A and B are shown apart, each in its own frame.
Chain A
Amino acid sequence: MKEFNIRKVLSLLVTVCSICLGVIWLIPLVWLVGTALTETSFHMTLLPTTPFTFENIKYVWNAIPFAQYYINTLTLVVVTFAIQFFTSTLAGYAMAFYNFPGQALIFVIIFMQIIIPNDVLIIPNFMTLSEMGLIDSKLGVMFPFLGSAMAIFLLRQHFKTVPRAFGEAARIDGANLWQTIWRVYMPCAKPAYMSFAVISVSYHWNNYLWPLIVTKSPTNRTLTVGLAIFAKSKEADMQWANVCAATLIIIAPLLLAFFVMQKQFMNSFVSAGVKE
């Protein structure tokens, strides 16, 4: 009976501890949302003291071409993922089921991309991109990511768990290579595609350094680049309500998606093991 009580107290302690830490972790978000959605005050407070308003959001929405940036970011995220989906499926299938000379070397290249974050190679990649004449283009922002080592590796692992008999049965029924991949292997690897989608979308929604370097005009700039320009401009100086409103505008979609599907998000990051 005594043992039982100690356990109960301990469990309560863990709960209290984890809730307290959770509250501390939420402070920046609470302040951000509170400040973005209330009237400007001259004194910064953790919890809002002024009335609720959409004025800050309205102001920054008109001060910065956010609508354009939203379209740009959405286009980049969707097109990048669509192309990655295609290239990684094919490459993942080849790495899972074929034996060919040079395979070991391709594994080396895959691991190279997994251990070297794209941001580290900005100087040589910028040179290559300008030689290709793709500076300040959407294709230029997407190009380095169109062959994703993480996705190839993840899909390869999943394809390998599909029983070989499934594929062979499809071939006997007269399905060609494309049909076999499309009808048999892709449906079996759905969880892998979900993980890869979550990671690809959050990476490209949040990516900053590469789009900053590549884009020059508002027609190509992403949300993150737009936010940075605003946060560093003269009109944002000391205007925390406006900067918070601008920040909220760019983080809201992904954050809401995460709150709705938190389990899926966390599992995705674990299963891929890397942020591209």
Chain B
Amino acid sequence: MARITTAAQRRRKEIATAYMLLAPALLVMLVFTVYPVLRSVFLSMTKYRMGMEAPEWIWFSNFQRLAGNSTFWKVMRNTVAFALMTVIPSMVLGLGLAMLVNREGRHIGFIRTAYFYPSVMPMIAIASIWMFIYMAGNGLFDQMLIKLGGQSMNVLSDKDKVLPAMAVMYVWREAGYLMVFFLSGLQSINGDVLEAASIDGATGWKTFRHITLPLLAPTTLFVSTVAFTNCFKLADHVIIMTEGAPNNASTLLLYYIYQQGFTNMNYGVSSALTVIMLAMLLVVSLPRFFSEDRKIHYA
């Protein structure tokens, strides 16, 4: 009897110790990750603006109003278009760069550094530089066009060219970042498999298509989640370069959330937009839930 009590006591002590160790980190995560998600869901169903005493419950009216708002649809179109213009090109380029630098050699370290360095620069520093690169007339980009016989484009003020221009900048930044994941994936492929294929007479393209690419599938799935998530959370460069101009042609979802919350002080609508963003993040993260054990492969 006494022994059973000690075992139960020991178990209780173990649980208490575990929670004591977890407490500091868990408290911060509850307050700044779990609570804000719940709060956004709650506020998204309320009318709540600057100056109101308390939020007023209105069910799904915020979402209904957004559904009938042309600016909202423009922002969603921009966000999806920007994702399509950046995610796939930066992944393809990232894989290409990884294959170029998947070698040993004295210069390889230097070349990898050249591809990766934009990832250690803040987005606002990149935006400040590229704003001048894209400057009308005198900017490096327009000068290059003029030299090639074209004419000045002033891309950042053109409603059809502003997103592609920002996409080029972002692909330049992101490709090197995604490269390192592909590089680690390539290096984990067993060399014997490739050798066996080459003995069997498989040529470069065939080896790539039927061996390398399938073996890289888990990496590719993981990288696509990272690429979409990184792309959705972009707002810094919009604040610096255009503030959504011309006429919201460059407004992305997170920038719209920021604007609705901090410029228009409309917390109900900005919370509804936050909920939409959370849903998008959940969708692009789904591959992670189904392949979570593979994380060990990256760690």
Contact = CB atoms under 8 A, between A and B. Distances in A.
A125 B125 contact: no
A241 to B, nearest CB: 10
Q: Give chain B's interface residue range (CB within 8 Å of chain A).
A: 35 or more
A271 interface: yes
Given A123-B270, A143-B28, A19 B139 contact: no
B151 interface: no
Contacts of A177: 17
A246 B124 CA distance: 12
Interface in A1-16: 14-15
Which of B120, B184, B229, B295: most chain A Cβ within 10 A? B120
Contact of B122 (A117, A145, A205, A266): A205
Interface string B170-210: 00100011001101100000000000000000000000000
Interface of B is mostly: helix
Contacts of A101: 15
Contacts of B24: 86-87, 90-91, 146-147
B7 interface: no
A194 interface: no
Contact of B25 (A44, A117, A148, A263): A148
B236 interface: yes
21 contacts: A25-B117, A25-B176, A28-B129, A28-B133, A90-B25, A91-B22, A100-B19, A109-B29, A111-B289, A120-B254, A120-B281, A123-B40, A124-B271, A128-B35, A144-B28, A153-B299, A158-B299, A202-B120, A206-B123, A209-B254, A240-B135
Interface of A: 14-15, 17-19, 21-23, 25-26, 28-29, 31-32, 43-44, 46, 86-88, 90-91, 93-95, 98-101, 106, 109-128, 143-149, 152-154, 157-158, 177, 202, 205-209, 212-213, 224, 227-228, 231-232, 240, 243-244, 246-247, 250-251, 254-255, 258-259, 262-263, 265-266, 269-271, 273-275
